[in-house]
Amino acid sequence: MLDVKVGNGAFMADRGQAEILAQSLVEVANGAGVKTSAMITDMSQPLADSAGNAVEIRNCLDFLAGRKRDTRLDIVVLAFAAEMLVKSGVAVSPDEAEGMARQALSSGKAAEVFARMVSMLGGPADLIENPDRHLARAPLEKPVPAARSGWLSACDARGVGLSVIDLGGGRRHPGDRIDHRVGFSELLPLGTRVTAGEPIALVHAADEAAAERAAAALAMHYRITEDKPELTPVIAGLI
pLDDT (tens digit, 9 = 90+) per residue, 2-15? Answer: 999 999 999 899 99
- The answer regarding whether domain 2-132 maps to CATH 3.60.21.10 reads no
CATH class of the 138-225 domain in this structure: alpha beta
Distance, CA of 227 to chain centre: 26
Residue ranges of the chain that CATH labels 3.40.1030.10: 2-132
Separation of alpha carbons 212 and 142, rounded Å: 8
pLDDT of amino acid 158: 96
Separation of alpha carbons 126 and 116, rounded Å: 9
Other CB atoms within 10 A of residue 82 CB: 21
Instruction: Report phi then psi at 34, rounded to 5.
Output: -105, 115
Torsion on CA atoms 193, 140, 207, 8, rounded to nearest 10 = -40
Residue ranges of the chain that CATH labels 3.90.1170.30: 138-225
pLDDT of amino acid 103: 96
Q: Which helix (H) or strand (E) holds 28?
A: helix 15-31
For 107, residues 6+ apart whose C-beta sits below 8 A from its C-beta are none
Within 13 A of 168's CA, how many CA atoms are on the CB side?
16
Q: Identify the segments of the chain with pLDDT beneath 70.
A: none
Q: What is the pLDDT of residues 181-236, one digit of tens each?
A: 999 999 999 999 999 999 999 999 999 999 999 999 999 999 999 999 999 999 99
